[in-house]
């Protein structure tokens, strides 16, 4: 079906206008990060010079590499933990029948009604009492179990025919082997989607790292950005902008590469 | 023959029962083994803290979080008599009222125009989804600059138009609105992506038959697109509500709850009471209120979501 030319023109106009508005904050920051402090303070909107001095400055004055590394370690830990624990749980819900399974399934649903913010105070005390403030395990462990991930994988595992399980049982293949060699490879793309989602949300986490890290050795890049913003003088906007651009590059790249997958995966998980 | 066979059968029956029982036990322990990591983690980091929060909300505490005096419902009475908490509740509700419809309308508009099969539409989709990859902290830096009173682009644009500058984040009349605008922008990427997915799963056949009937664009939008999208729409509305009640990062970065507590949303209020004033009791009482709000919203979603809202 072809779209009439008039409609096409209207649509393109709307698309471009909307893109300008939605993309403007990122684009402006990107431009500003290459401008000198003086130019920004004069209120120039278009850069007349191009310099990388803001990027050099932000790396020199702040332990940004350390922050990036911390975020990477924490996000990978959370992502891996979520994938392992959610897929194990999803397997039990699909392939192992036992008494009390429905009750536990209900328990999983119930966890979705508890916002993290409502349990953050005792969680902070738990991590503090374990002496895990300023540690990777303290940052990551509370996020390992995940109802959303379990449901997403459960939906996917359900598509594997039950006969396959029965046949492998007769052939004497145990649950763990069936899980590792049959189920996980089949669910590869769903695992990938969940992994990307877990990585993105962990990398962007704010409240928990703010509470549990006070030390530059473990501070994540988001909290580093907060430090940068509150410590820098007003005329150092270029440096702050350069920091913000560096923070968003990894997640934007992941999003651009995995957008289609993520969209399909999240829609499936959302609507079942 | 009967007499011989019967005990034998009984014996076999018993053995079968026993085997069945054993098998059931085995699959129970196997199932639990697979579920144990989740159950332990949920217990330690979700169910226990929830109970503990409820417990703390009936006590006064010292600065390290140990309970000192049992005060019953006094913490709840205190917060509901505190003008600061009531203000926080009011700001939170207003914030929800601004951001939820705002996010949904913006994302729905973007999803509808980006759903057409046009050349280069993939690029636009990526651009609209991009805010999903931008963290709260980074997005707040972007907007902090846009809102800057003298060099920020918004006031520069106003100056070009000959209008007066606005104290976007410093004027009590504007601050909550400004934070809402930034929040709508931040949340639109995720909502857009989900809505686009919903639009793409609508059966094209419906549109084709409507075209044969000569239906116009807005007729199709009203009669096909929106009703067919309603399950997705319902999902994103609930998620947006829950997200709005949980907002924290942008408040901490943009306004720190000010000016005059105008943007002191409930999670920020909990954070301040617990981790700056060490009033864990009153903070826990506020956290319980947040919990009940989210609980009700999630229950509504489950209840209505079951009915899948509206399939024609």
B6 & B90 share domain:
no
The chain B residue lying nearest A236, using CA atoms, is B145
Q: B275: buried, middle or exposed (CB in 10 Å: 19+, 13-18, 0-12)?
A: middle
Residue B103, domain member (yes or no):
yes
The predicted structure's pLDDT at residue B24: 84
Q: Provide the domain limits for residue B100.
A: 77-306
Cα separation, B278 vs B152, whole angstroms: 36
- Domain coordinates in residue numbering, chain A: 5-53, 62-271
Number of structural domains (chain B) is: 2
* CATH code of the domain made up of A62-271: 1.10.3720.10
B284 & B220 share domain:
yes
Check if the beta carbon of residue B308 is closer than 8 Å to that of residue B231: yes
Residue B259, domain member (yes or no):
yes
- Measured between CA atoms, how close is B290 to chain A, in angstroms? 7
The predicted structure's pLDDT at residue B34: 93
Q: What is the CATH number of the domain that holds B183?
A: 1.10.3720.10
Question: What would the DSSP string read from start to end of B284-312?
Answer: HHHHHHHHHHHHHHHHHHHHHHHTTS---
B159 & B252 share domain:
yes
Residue B225, domain member (yes or no):
yes
User: What confidence tens digit (pLDDT) does each residue in A118-153 have?
Assistant: 899 999 999 999 999 999 999 999 999 999 899 989
Q: What average pLDDT is seen over chain A? A: 89
What is the phi-psi region of residue B23: left when phi exceeds 0, alpha when psi lies from -120 to 50, beta otherwise?
A: alpha
Say how many residues make up chain A: 272
**Is A264 within 8 Å of B197 when comparing Cβ atoms?**
yes
Residue B294, domain member (yes or no):
yes
Partners of residue B125 in chain A, C-beta under 8 Å? 259
The ipTM is 0.89
B218 at the A interface (CB within 8 A)? no
Cα separation, B30 vs B148, whole angstroms: 59
Interhelix angle B153-160/B136-146, rounded to 10 degrees, is 30
Give the B window 76-115 contacts with A, CB below 8 Å: 109-110, 113-114
**Is A22 within 8 Å of B283 when comparing Cβ atoms?**
no
**Is A121 within 8 Å of B56 when comparing Cβ atoms?**
yes
User: What confidence tens digit (pLDDT) does each residue in B262-279 have?
Assistant: 999 999 999 999 999 999
For residues B205 and A81, which has the higher predicted lDDT (pLDDT)? A81
**Is B65 within 8 Å of A84 when comparing Cβ atoms?**
no
The predicted structure's pLDDT at residue A199: 93
pLDDT class for B10, splitting at 50, 70, 90?
A: low
**Is B110 within 8 Å of A22 when comparing Cβ atoms?**
yes
The predicted structure's pLDDT at residue B9: 64
For residues A225 and B2, which has the higher predicted lDDT (pLDDT)? A225
**Is B130 within 8 Å of A255 when comparing Cβ atoms?**
yes
Residue B19, domain member (yes or no):
yes
Which residues 6+ apart lie within 8 Å of A165 measured at CB?
A: A95, A178
User: What confidence tens digit (pLDDT) does each residue in A214-254 have?
Assistant: 988 999 999 999 988 887 665 688 899 999 999 999 999 98
User: What confidence tens digit (pLDDT) does each residue in B169-189 have?
Assistant: 999 999 999 999 999 999 999
pLDDT class for A271, splitting at 50, 70, 90?
A: low
B39 & B93 share domain:
no
**Is A113 within 8 Å of B133 when comparing Cβ atoms?**
no
Partners of residue A210 in chain B, C-beta under 8 Å? 252
Cα separation, A126 vs A107, whole angstroms: 22
Give the B window 224-263 contacts with A, CB below 8 Å: 231-232, 235, 242, 245-246, 248-249, 252-253
Average pLDDT over residues B230-256: 91
Partners of residue B150 in chain A, C-beta under 8 Å? 43
Cα separation, B284 vs A120, whole angstroms: 9
Average pLDDT over residues B6-20: 72
The chain B residue lying nearest A147, using CA atoms, is B38
The predicted structure's pLDDT at residue A77: 97
**Is A85 within 8 Å of B130 when comparing Cβ atoms?**
no
User: What confidence tens digit (pLDDT) does each residue in B50-69 have?
Assistant: 999 999 999 999 988 888 89
B51 & B91 share domain:
no
User: What confidence tens digit (pLDDT) does each residue in B291-305 have?
Assistant: 999 999 888 877 877
B205 & B138 share domain:
yes
């Amino acid at each position: 079906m072809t779209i009439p030319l008039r409609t096409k023109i209207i649509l393109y106009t709307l698309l471009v206008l909307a893109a300008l508005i939605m993309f403007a904050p990122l684009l402006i920051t990107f431009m500003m990060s290459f401008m000198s402090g003086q130019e920004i303070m004069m209120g120039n909107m278009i850069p007349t010079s191009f310099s990388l001095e803001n990027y050099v400055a932000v790396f020199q004055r702040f332990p940004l590499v350390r922050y990036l590394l911390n975020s990477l370690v924490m996000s990978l830990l959370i992502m891996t933990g979520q994938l392992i624990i959610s897929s194990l749980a999803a397997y039990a819900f699909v392939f192992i029948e036992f008494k009390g399974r429905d009750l536990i399934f209900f328990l999983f649903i119930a966890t979705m009604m508890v916002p993290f913010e409502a349990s953050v105070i005792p969680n902070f005390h738990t991590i503090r009492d374990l002496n895990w403030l300023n540690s990777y395990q303290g940052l990551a462990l509370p996020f390992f179990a995940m109802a959303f991930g379990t449901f997403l994988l459960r939906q996917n595992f359900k598509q594997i025919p039950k006969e396959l399980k029965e046949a492998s049982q007769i052939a004497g293949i145990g649950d763990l082997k069936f899980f590792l060699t049959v189920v996980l490879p089949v669910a590869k793309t769903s695992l990938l989607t969940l992994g990307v989602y877990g990585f993105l949300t962990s990398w962007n986490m704010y409240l928990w790292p703010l509470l549990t890290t006070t030390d530059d050795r473990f501070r994540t890049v988001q909290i580093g950005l907060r430090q940068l913003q509150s410590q820098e003088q007003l005329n150092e906007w270029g440096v702050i902008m350069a920091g913000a651009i560096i923070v968003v590059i990894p997640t934007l790249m992941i999003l651009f590469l995995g957008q289609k997958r993520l969209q399909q995966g999240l829609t499936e998980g959302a609507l079942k | 023959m009967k007499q011989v066979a019967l005990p034998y059968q009984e014996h076999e029956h018993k053995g079968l029962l026993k085997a069945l029982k054993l098998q059931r036990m085995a699959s129970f322990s196997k199932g639990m083994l697979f579920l144990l990591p989740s159950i332990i983690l949920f217990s330690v980091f979700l169910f226990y803290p929830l109970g503990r929060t409820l417990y703390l909300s009936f006590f006064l505490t010292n600065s390290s979080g140990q309970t000192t005096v049992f005060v019953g419902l006094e913490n709840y009475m205190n917060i509901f008599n505190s003008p600061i908490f009531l203000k926080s509740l009011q700001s939170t509700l207003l914030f929800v009222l601004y951001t939820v419809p705002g996010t949904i309308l913006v994302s729905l508009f973007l999803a509808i125009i980006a759903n057409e099969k046009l050349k280069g539409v993939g690029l636009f989709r990526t651009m609209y989804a991009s805010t999903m990859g931008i963290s709260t902290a980074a997005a707040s830096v972007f907007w902090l600059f846009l809102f800057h009173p003298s060099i920020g682009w918004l006031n520069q644009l106003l100056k070009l138009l000959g209008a007066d500058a606005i104290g976007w984040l410093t004027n009590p009349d504007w601050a909550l609105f400004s934070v809402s605008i930034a929040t709508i922008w931040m949340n639109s990427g995720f909502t857009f992506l989900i809505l686009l997915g919903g639009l793409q799963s609508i059966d094209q056949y419906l549109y084709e038959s409507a075209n044969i009937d000569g239906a116009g664009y807005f007729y199709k939008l009203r009669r096909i697109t929106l009703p067919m999208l309603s399950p997705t729409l319902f999902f994103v509305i609930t998620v947006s509500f829950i997200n709005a009640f949980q907002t924290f990062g942008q408040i901490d970065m943009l306004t720190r709850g000010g000016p005059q507590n105008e943007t002191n949303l409930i999670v920020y209020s909990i954070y301040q009471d617990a981790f700056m004033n060490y009033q864990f009791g009153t903070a826990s009482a506020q956290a319980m209120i947040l919990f009940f709000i989210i609980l009700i919203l999630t229950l509504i979603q489950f209840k209505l979501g079951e009915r899948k809202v509206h399939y024609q």
